[in-house]
């Protein structure tokens, strides 16, 4: 599932490399999100993964790791803003960047993906204090 997104969405690979998710964790988490609320067996979810020959235990372990990584990332942002490490409203700006990218993903070309990645790096450097 994630491999097809990597081929069609130029920003996904860039963001995965810099995120707390591995490809396998993101693949597993996306499958779980897509199938939530539906009566789909664990076996069917495993078959949806890029690498299908994994045990149920491995699938569930990977899903738990992805969930924990996402929770830690969210807690980190909340803590950083609460402690004044991030400027006020920084998390809102990050959410706006994510929404803008999501809403324009069909328009992103190889050239614009490179420019977008540089802008994202610049914003994150500024917010994290690396660019002062």
Contact 29, 63 (CB under 8 A): yes
User: Mean of the per-residue pLDDT values for the chain?
Assistant: 90
Please list, residue by residue across 93-104, b when 16 or more beta carbons sit within 10 angstroms of its beta carbon and e when fewer do: ebeeeeeeeeee
pLDDT at 131: 64
Kindly report, residue by residue over 3-42, the tens digit of the pLDDT. 888 888 889 999 999 999 999 999 999 999 999 989 999 9
pLDDT at 27: 94
pTM more than 0.75: yes
């Amino acid at each position: 599932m994630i491999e097809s997104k990597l081929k069609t969405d130029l920003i996904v690979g860039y963001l995965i490399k810099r995120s707390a998710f591995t490809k396998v964790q993101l693949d597993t988490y996306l499958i779980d999100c897509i199938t939530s609320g539906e009566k789909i067996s664990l076996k069917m979810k495993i078959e949806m993964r890029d690498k299908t020959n994994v045990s149920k235990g491995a699938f569930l372990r990977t899903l738990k790791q992805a969930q924990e990584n996402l929770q830690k990332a969210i807690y980190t942002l909340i803590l950083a803003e609460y402690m004044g490490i991030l400027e006020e409203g920084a998390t809102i700006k990050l959410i706006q960047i994510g929404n803008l990218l999501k809403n324009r993903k069909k328009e992103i070309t190889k050239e614009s993906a490179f420019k977008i990645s540089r802008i994202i790096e610049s914003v994150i450097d500024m917010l994290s204090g690396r660019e002062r």
